[in-house]
Amino acid sequence: MTARCVMVLGTTSGAGKSWLTTALCRHYASRGLKVAPFKAQNMSNNARVVAGGEIGSAQYFQSLAAQAEPEVRMNPLLLKPEADTRSQVVLMGQVNEALSNMPWRGRSLHVWPQIAAALDELMAENDVVVIEGAGSPAEINLHASDIVNMRVALHANARCLLVSDIDRGGAFAHLYGTWALLPAEARLLIHGFVLNKFRGDASLLAPAPQMLQDLTGVPTVATLPMWWQHGLPEEDGVFDDRTRAYGAVSKTVAVIAYPRISNLDEFQPLKNVPGVRLVWARAPADCAGADWIVLPGSKATATDLAWLRTQGLDRAVAAHAAQGGAVLGVCGGLQMLGEALIDTHGIDGNAPGLGLLPLVTQFDLQKTVRHTHTTFGELHGVWSALSGVAAAGYEIHHGQTAQHPAMAAGGNNAREVLADGLGWQNAAGNVLGVYLHGLFEDPRVLQALFGASAPTLETVFNGLADFIETHFEPGVLDQLIAP
């Protein structure tokens, strides 16, 4: 079995590569083909636990859309940014300290053999491999060390789609400029241009698509309408700050969007629950009127905690909690809610916590990466609906958190609501901290908290496939995998 490879490239980050790759995975899988996704290198703090370690969240969802078991070969290299000039390097699912400490441009020689081997194995085992690029393939300063765009495309002899976000403007210039800056052999692999996020009458685009084809020989094979609620989370960050809700708003949830936010994709279901309004909060004003404030995960907990204080968000969270408002901390957010962060290994940094839970976190060299099934104990106050609710999710963290002995002795106890140090609640009942990612992806939790559910992933994937089948030119999707 030698797979046909289809690759999705973009003129920019945020052009729509990830969701289009996901849609293609479901389209081909629905035709009875054995399909696997692949992205050589992903730079993201959104990660999932899979067989062999962790991969980018986008490839996790793509594998589910492809009806394949998620595994590390689908994203052999994951870079998790910890600062503007430093990332934790995860190779084949595992943290690699040597690569993390290596100059960025020097890594490609060391990692390409494993990337190529992973792709070759997937090609040998599948009918179709749908490959996602990263950023733009026309970043000519990076051509010499490229391991994720055209080097992959040439290795796989992939038929490539080049996507541009027309809502941002300049789409035809982006498409032509990207094509023109590619090496001649790489241009031959571009089989179609895709205009994404179009609003209005598509007939008004003429004669630009034909002019572009006259210049490049490449047809525009799809004009995809703007689609706000396709159901997948943003891959690279909070691109869409719009605060929408289905129906009348009954609950506003403000999620603190610190610079190194991680696993933000786990909050996507909240966008799809009727009556829930999700707000990404970067300033105290964004928290005004919120029913819940959520402190999400962070790839740099101490640094993000310092940013939170600089913004004045620490005072906003404390005031909200003091008034009895619901506060939830997830993973790094749980660590921030405690009394202190202690780092004797130089992993994340020392810092005083927000003091809303009598807990202390100590950072460990050993990273916890695992799937977790658990059941909430008895909770009271605003979180009491979770009492006895079973939940499944995942853990990715260095810190180990426990109750502060002196505070426990003084009577300032936290109620342990999840076994094995996975969750605590304050005495007043309105502040909850958990290590469990993916809480809102569990339908049992959504039902308990909101009395409602969000669309299932299967519904989302099928909707994506239907969307591209409707809007691609007839026959194009079949031609991409034809012998």
The whole-angstrom separation of Cα 347 and Cα 482 is 49
The whole-angstrom separation of Cα 118 and Cα 91 is 11
| Residue 25 annotated in active site | no
Distances in Å between the alpha carbon of 116 and those of 57, 143, 202, 372?
21, 17, 40, 32
Q: Check if the beta carbon of residue 43 is closer than 8 Å to that of residue 265.
A: no
SS3 255: strand
SS3 204: helix
The whole-angstrom separation of Cα 368 and Cα 335 is 15
Q: Check if the beta carbon of residue 14 is closer than 8 Å to that of residue 230.
A: no
Alpha carbon 367 to its chain's center: 20
The whole-angstrom separation of Cα 272 and Cα 80 is 27
The whole-angstrom separation of Cα 194 and Cα 450 is 38
SS3 415: strand
The whole-angstrom separation of Cα 271 and Cα 273 is 6
The whole-angstrom separation of Cα 113 and Cα 98 is 16
The whole-angstrom separation of Cα 201 and Cα 219 is 19
Q: Which of 287, 331, 404, 471 is catalytic?
A: 331
The whole-angstrom separation of Cα 253 and Cα 103 is 40
Q: Check if the beta carbon of residue 304 is closer than 8 Å to that of residue 258.
A: yes
| Residue 230 annotated in active site | no
Q: Which of 155, 174, 397, 437 is catalytic?
A: 437
Backbone phi and psi for residue 221, each to the nearest 5 degrees, phi listed first: -100, -10
Q: Check if the beta carbon of residue 212 is closer than 8 Å to that of residue 175.
A: yes
In terms of Cα–Cα distance, which of 59, 73, 68 is closest to 19? 59
The whole-angstrom separation of Cα 216 and Cα 160 is 14
Number of Cβ within a 10 Å radius of residue 141: 6
Q: Which residues are catalytic, by number?
A: 331, 437
